[in-house]
Structure 1
Amino acid sequence: MINLTTNAGRRTRAGVALLTALATATTPAAASSGLAANRGIDLPGAGATARSTVGAIMDRIESGAAPARPDFVRPITLAQLEDQLRRPEMQASIGKGTIAVLYPNVDAPFRAAFTSIIQGIEERTRLRVRSYPVDPKVDTAELNATLKHNGTKVVIALGRQGLNATAGLDREITVLAGGVLLLSEAENVAGISLTPDPAMLFSRLRALLPDLRRVVVVYDPQKSDWLIKLAREAARSQGLELQAHVATDMSRAAQMYPQLIAAADNRRDAVWLPHDSTTVEESTILPLVLRESWNSGVPLFSSNVLHVKKGALFAMAPNNVELGRTLASSALGVIAGDGKRRGLTPLRELQTAINLRTASHMGLNLGHQQQRSFDFVFPQP
């Protein structure tokens, strides 16, 4: 039995009624007129009886009453009904609208991440969603017209390029961001950030190092203030102290790391590298922090999985298919009438990578069973 809210139930009943009307077109009267399915519920040639029946059904739906089942309608199974309701043209025709995906027009291997997210979206919606690769100078007016023509209700924008392409869309189209490193609450975008949820990072950290008591992080408030707020709460809930230090430029960050790591206890402290281009600059600061961590034995973990290959103990990476499924669930919620405004949330659809050489250097000897709990292991055998 399907449990439906009032609004969602009315929309589903509308879909049932529309299917009923379409089924009417399969009666002998309709068949003799040679009607196409996309001509909707206006049934010229099907006779006044059919038209009046459809009108009565729609009137009852508008009033909130359950539609009557005409005797001439062919039975339809629940599975057939659900399959029909999932079709994009059916969603548009009952006023729900469809889902579209905008993603950067990039070549392989970078495109693979976006196609995996789209795969997850289609698996969750059981629809073939319309996806549009967009260039940096996309014609937003033309894109907007195309989306409206296709009955788009929700756009899932992947990557910064995909999100930028939504700037000229009508306000009636809801935008959900995915796979984007949003750096400020001021952007006021709903969706899922590319940065891992601190709670999941800290949980994995405690599982690896149960004696750990403090996490040290250096961050730029203009880019990571929203994330640090979440991290403070996550640390507190797991019995950890978050020692957060502000650095508004690379020079200051480079000065702070050696001092902080030198003062840390390698049995009770760990250093976290968030997604922050100021304090975790790749060419200068990252090699510095990796060297200091290795020499001191202070564990270093990261929000960027690429850092594991370079020597960080562990990191987390997006599970792109699962991310697509979660984005699709949010989009379906919008289509179903969920008007609740949600902001940016950190990524919880994650995979984990471990560096066994670093773990061994720090006295962590992970058995085969523990290694199997990680999705990626470096160095690769």
Structure 2
Amino acid sequence: MNNMNLNAGRRVRACFALLLALAGTGVMTPASAQRSDQPSIVDLPGTHVRSDVGALMDRIESGNVPAPYRAVTLAQLEDQLRRPELQASIGKGGTIAVLYPNVEEPFRSAFVSMIQGIEERTKLHVRSYPVDPRVDTSELNATLKRNGTRVVIALGRQGLNATTGLDKEITVLAGGVLLLSEADNVAGISMTPDPALLFARLRVLLPELKRVIVVYNPQKTEWLIKLAREAARAQGLELSTHVAGDLARAAQLYPQLIAAADSRHDAVWLPHDTTTVEEGTILPLVLRESWNSGVPLFSSNALHVKKGALFGMVPNNVELGRTLASSALGVIAGDNKRRSLTPLRELQTAINVRTASHIGLNLGERQQRSFDFVYPQP
């Protein structure tokens, strides 16, 4: 089948499913049957999917169409969709829109994966809007209202900034944004890994560990440290916290703390904190001190694993999209519970086997397979 016929088939499936949904049958096609490289032009109403939709679509495609449905052409279906009463029904109950930064690869792929997860959970091809730093928020607001948008999932800092001019009736859920604090009054999921998952993995790798050392800037990560204290307590660990309000203080603290640490019972945690885990000066310093002393170093940022940290965590972007979509569907369904900022729990883990071996931790193939990424790569 050539591409033209394939695309026409997909459009027929999408159009037929939409007509069924608008007729009150509650049947919708999966997002995979609707997805194309073009921007979405309709949002299907509702969230309930009938289990027999696959069989029905197979019968339609095979020509064995059940009564009372009759064969219609693609042009006739599209003409039906233009009817005012059907267009008025499309946004009934509210729709979901996604705002994401208009950036180039490789960054774009992360946001595309999040959108994929959103579509998989909602069973819809959601409306997605790439936004630039100077986006016209009033025009964007008008477009979203015209399309019946009830919930905006804002991805990345740029996507979140674009929501500042939106009507209060539109609920905003943030995702893919680092270093959000409670003061931001934003609901959604931070890109900062949940300390509970980090510490649980640490416990498995180093069961004799007793203390986690962290240097942080309270203005940026106080909310995270509160969660970390609870997470450490749950794992039977002591969380030793040290405040550094600037780069100079962080550079002074790390060598002192690592020199006084016990390599068998202590480990250093690098949170997402641009003051105390500054990439140009602080990170090389901490990596060097950790390697020379044998004190384990783990990070909230999986990119640090490539550079020598023992392990770190990275977002599972598709799963993050699914979780954000579930929250959005809850809003549309009338779930009025208070939503807040939560750390990231949709994660994959990276391990540096050379660092592990250096501190006396020999990981077999089975243990290595429990990680999503292994460095150095063979």
How far the C-alpha of 1:323 sits from its partner, in A, is 0.2
CA distance in 1, matches of 2:175, 2:89: 26
Hey, what does 1:336 align to over in structure 2?
A: 333
Hey, what does 1:92 align to over in structure 2?
A: 91
State the TM-score, normalizing by the size of structure 2.
0.79
Hey, what does 1:352 align to over in structure 2?
A: 349
How far the C-alpha of 1:97 sits from its partner, in A, is 0.6
The answer to whether residue 178 in structure 2 is matched with residue 181 in structure 1 is: yes
SS state at 1:369 partner: helix
CA distance in 1, matches of 2:201, 2:225: 18
1:255-303 per-position Cα deviation (integer Å, ceiling 9, x unaligned): 0000000111000000000000000000000000000000000000000
The one of 80, 85, 93 aligned to 1:36: 80
Hey, what does 1:228 align to over in structure 2?
A: 225
The one of 11, 19, 25 aligned to 2:24: 19
The one of 108, 115, 130 aligned to 1:111: 108
How far the C-alpha of 1:92 sits from its partner, in A, is 1.5
Hey, what does 2:146 align to over in structure 1?
A: 149
> Structure 1 regions of 5+ residues with no counterpart?
1-14, 29-33, 43-87
State the TM-score, normalizing by the size of structure 1.
0.78
Hey, what does 1:293 align to over in structure 2?
A: 290
Hey, what does 2:16 align to over in structure 1?
A: none
Hey, what does 1:10 align to over in structure 2?
A: none
Whether contact under 8 Å (1:196, 1:303) holds in the other structure is: yes
CA distance in 2, matches of 1:230, 1:106: 32
1:162-182 per-position Cα deviation (integer Å, ceiling 9, x unaligned): 000000000000000000013
Whether contact under 8 Å (1:18, 1:41) holds in the other structure is: no
The one of 69, 94, 118 aligned to 1:121: 118
SS state at 2:24 partner: helix
CA distance in 2, matches of 1:189, 1:182: 12
Whether contact under 8 Å (1:183, 1:222) holds in the other structure is: no
CA distance in 2, matches of 1:257, 1:183: 25
What is the letter of the counterpart of residue 289 of structure 2?
A: E
Q: 1:236 to 1:91 in 2, by over 3 A?
A: farther
How far the C-alpha of 1:36 sits from its partner, in A, is 3.3
CA distance in 2, matches of 1:142, 1:338: 29
Hey, what does 2:59 align to over in structure 1?
A: none
What is the letter of the counterpart of residue 211 of structure 1?
A: E
How far the C-alpha of 1:138 sits from its partner, in A, is 0.2
CA distance in 2, matches of 1:320, 1:175: 19
Q: 1:89 to 1:209 in 2, by over 3 A?
A: farther
How far the C-alpha of 1:17 sits from its partner, in A, is 9.3
The answer to whether residue 370 in structure 2 is matched with residue 373 in structure 1 is: yes
Hey, what does 1:132 align to over in structure 2?
A: 129
What is the letter of the counterpart of residue 194 of structure 1?
A: M
SS state at 1:19 partner: coil
> Structure 2 regions of 5+ residues with no counterpart?
1-19, 27-67, 71-76
The one of 251, 254, 279 aligned to 2:251: 254
Sequence identity of aligned pairs in percent? 78
Hey, what does 1:171 align to over in structure 2?
A: 168
1:315-347 per-position Cα deviation (integer Å, ceiling 9, x unaligned): 000000000000000000000001111110000
Of the two, which has the highest radius of gyration? 1
CA distance in 1, matches of 2:85, 2:328: 27
CA distance in 2, matches of 1:112, 1:222: 31
Q: Could you list the structure 1 runs, at least 4 aligned residues long, displaced by more than 4 angstroms after superposition.
A: 15-18, 37-42, 88-91
How far the C-alpha of 1:156 sits from its partner, in A, is 0.3
The one of 281, 286, 297 aligned to 1:284: 281
Q: 1:196 to 1:20 in 2, by over 3 A?
A: closer
Whether contact under 8 Å (2:216, 2:242) holds in the other structure is: yes
